[in-house]
Structures are given as structure tokens and as C-alpha cells.
Amino acid sequence: MAYLELHELRRAFGPVVALDGIQIELAAGEFLSLLGPSGCGKTTALRLVAGFDRPDSGSIVIDGKDITRLSPNRRDMGMVFQAYSLFPNLTTEQNVEFGLRIRKHKRGARRKRVAELLELVGLGHAGKRFPHQLSGGMQQRVALARALAIEPRVLLLDEPLSALDAKVRVQLREEIRRIQTQLGITTLYVTHDQEEALSVSDHVAVMWSGRIEQVGTPSEMYGAPATPFVAEFIGTMNRLQAVVVDGDRGEVEHAGTLLTVDAARGRSRGEKVLVLVRPELLELEPSTNGSTAGDNTLGGEVVTHTFLGSVTRLKIQGREAELIADVPTARVDSLPVGQPIVAHVPTAGTRLLSLNEEPASDEPDQDGR
């Protein structure tokens, strides 16, 4: 049963439609990330849930109660911002305590709650420090503890890690997930970082131009994208434009090359489609001249190497298409820049979408938030 529900939320700023009737449901204790590029509307959605803005139409329901018109202080929401937003003149303890003091909790109860939360976020030793004496990661831990202090019904996080360096981001996202799981608090998380969203979420909602493109588990979003935009935005994807030749046999034609892909079975002959292949699924082997050899192969030449640790990403320029392939770094020496290669396209594991599912290619207006 849904605990937090966003029903057909619409919000426009003049001629710019920031949210175009989005619909989202979170179960109690669920962690859902709103993921999308800058300007897609994800922060606008979070602001509506928090009560900082009002929708033009639609409703927000929590635990069966419509809160669309309630003021922020009556919603029992905890909010963590990108820029920490700590009070510079208050200590760590006083910052965490602030919401409890406003709600007139007794001093003893406040102190106990603050001590518990500082231990929870790993800052039990830093209660007397001021924000300027803390690192960025520590300040964001204080902000998280402050948001949790009032025991909110829903925790809202707006790009909480984007101002931190890479190593701290990884550490803190793991901490956020640990704390959220331990407390069982319903959480709505906004980010533009695909890896971040996939690593912490129960479900991910990908947004584009004010709309929800797809909602699913992290594995579903990566392995079974519903639209070309989702496929491209989450991870890297090879996109091969093709025409269905035989839907019974799963055959498509791409730039004069016949490919067999299971995902094409049942499609209509003549249908224009995109064959989507993740870089790790392409198998490469050296070729004397880049010509294809056998079924489901594309020829080309290695043009660049990008070292990514255990794998190296190869860009391949072929007659049919430009390809990206991830190969184990240990065998990349056999595929040097300039080497003609044959790329084997897998029959299984590929995704196929109709070209009419392609969204507009223009970036959304930045005012779309």
C-alpha cells in the first residue's frame, strides 16, 4: 500500500512546464530516487512535497491524508539540502537540536535525542564544534542528523552529495542508505548522478522534461530501459538503428548488415527500431581488415582507449556505426588503437525499442528545475 503518493502533479513557471502531471507512489520505508538531468523537474517535485511551493494541479497524499495545502511546518518532513544550510553560529549539537527546540521538547529529551543521532551519523565526538570546524562531509552528516531529529514521516534529500569530492560522496551515500534502512524511514532522494541513484535506491524514477520516463528497480532500469532516453541516461548504450526483416526469426537489418536479436521476435516486418547493446555485452576480436566474419558481427577500427580500472573502454569506428565496448584491461594490448576488429552483437541481452519512442533530443530549459 502506498504511503506517499504524488497524483498528477503539474507546475508551470510562465511558459515553462516544470512538471507535466507526474505520478509517483512510495511504500512505507521505501527509498526512491528522482533521477534526471538538470532542468528535468526533479527539484521542483521535491519542493512541492516539502511544501515550499504549490502545484498548479494534482495532489500530495501521505498515509491517506491530502497534505497539498498544508504549510511546510505541518507536514512532518525532514529536509537535507545540497548546501548543508547549517546555522554558522550554532554548534553541531545546537544545529541538530534546533527543530526539537522549536517544537518545545524538554531539555532532557532533546539532549538524549541529539546524542543518539550524532552517534548514528558518526559524529559523537564533534558535538561542540561549529560548522566552520567541520569538513564538507561532516557538515552534511550534521544536516542529516538535524533532518532526522524531529522523527519525520518522510525524509527528503536534494542533491545532498553533489558538493562533496568523489571519495566522500561514495562513503556518505553508503551511510545514508545504512541509516535509512536502520530507521525504516520513507525517503525521496533527488540526484542527477546515475551511479548514486542505482547504488542507494529501492526504486528509481527517471525524469525528462517534466515527465516520468520510467520507474523501476535499479536492475530493471539498467537491464530493461523502457525508452531510448532511459537507456542512454543510465549508463552507456550502443544504439543501432535498424529495420525489422523477419519478426518470427528476430532478424533486423542495420546498415546493410543482418542481425538476429531475440528482442525483435514478434515485431512487425518493416518496423523501424533501435537495437540497444550495453558496452560490456560486445565481444571483440582482432581482424585483418575490419571485415565482418560470421553472423551478428560488425566491423570497425579501434580509435581510442579510456582506462577505467579493471576494464578499458574502446571507441570503435566502423562502416555501420560508432561503437563503445568495455573489455578487460588485461587483454587490451591485443586491441591497440588502429587495430581492425570484429564486434560480435549478442543475440540475447540486447534491448529493442521502436524509434517512435524516442523523446525530443533538445535539453529541457534550465528553468524547468
Instruction: Say if residue 274's pLDDT is above 90.
Output: yes
For residues 295-312, average pLDDT: 94
Instruction: Say if residue 248's pLDDT is above 50.
Output: yes
Nearest Cα residue to 12 out of 27, 1, 25, 22: 22
Q: How many of the other CB atoms lie within 10 Å of CB of 104? A: 7
Q: How many of the other CB atoms lie within 10 Å of CB of 62? A: 20
| Range from 216-220, 232-236, 356-360 carrying the lowest mean pLDDT | 356-360
Q: How many of the other CB atoms lie within 10 Å of CB of 186? A: 22
Grid cell for residue 348:
540475447
Banded model confidence at residue 356, pLDDT cuts 50, 70, 90: low
For residues 280-303, average pLDDT: 83
Instruction: Say if residue 357's pLDDT is above 60.
Output: no
Instruction: Say if residue 368's pLDDT is above 90.
Output: no
What confidence score (pLDDT) does residue 293 get?
Answer: 57
Q: Tell me the C-alpha to C-alpha distance, in Å, between residue 199 and each of 14, 28, 162, 206.
A: 36, 20, 15, 15
Grid cell for residue 368:
524547468
For residues 353-358, average pLDDT: 71
Q: How many of the other CB atoms lie within 10 Å of CB of 169? A: 20
- Sorted by where each begins, the domain ranges of the chain are 2-232, 237-354
Banded model confidence at residue 362, pLDDT cuts 50, 70, 90: very low
In the CATH hierarchy, which top-level class contains the domain 237-354? mainly beta
- The CATH architecture one would assign to domain 2-232 is 3-Layer(aba) Sandwich (3.40)
d(CA 305, CA 247): 36
Instruction: Say if residue 283's pLDDT is above 50.
Output: yes
Identify which of 6-10, 158-162, 224-228, 254-258 has the greatest average pLDDT: 6-10
pLDDT digits (tens, 9 = 90+) for 169-225: 999 999 999 999 999 999 999 999 999 999 999 999 999 999 999 999 999 999 999
What confidence score (pLDDT) does residue 361 get?
Answer: 41
What confidence score (pLDDT) does residue 291 get?
Answer: 58
What is the average pLDDT value for the chain, to the nearest integer? 92
What confidence score (pLDDT) does residue 359 get?
Answer: 46
pTM of the predicted model as reported, rounded to 2 decimal places: 0.88
The phi, psi pair for 148, rounded to 5°, reads -85, -15
Reported as type and span, the H/E element at residue 25 is: strand 16-27
What confidence score (pLDDT) does residue 363 get?
Answer: 41
For residues 297-312, average pLDDT: 95
What confidence score (pLDDT) does residue 365 get?
Answer: 42
For residues 287-296, average pLDDT: 68
Banded model confidence at residue 44, pLDDT cuts 50, 70, 90: very high
Percent of the chain at pLDDT > 70 equals: 95
Q: What does the DSSP assignment read for 159-173?
A: STTTTS-HHHHHHHH
Banded model confidence at residue 367, pLDDT cuts 50, 70, 90: very low
Banded model confidence at residue 320, pLDDT cuts 50, 70, 90: confident
The separation between the first and the last C-alpha atoms of the chain, rounded to the nearest angstrom, is 30
d(CA 234, CA 207): 11
- What residues have CB less than 8 Å from 219, skipping those under 6 apart? none
Contact 147, 86 (CB under 8 A): no
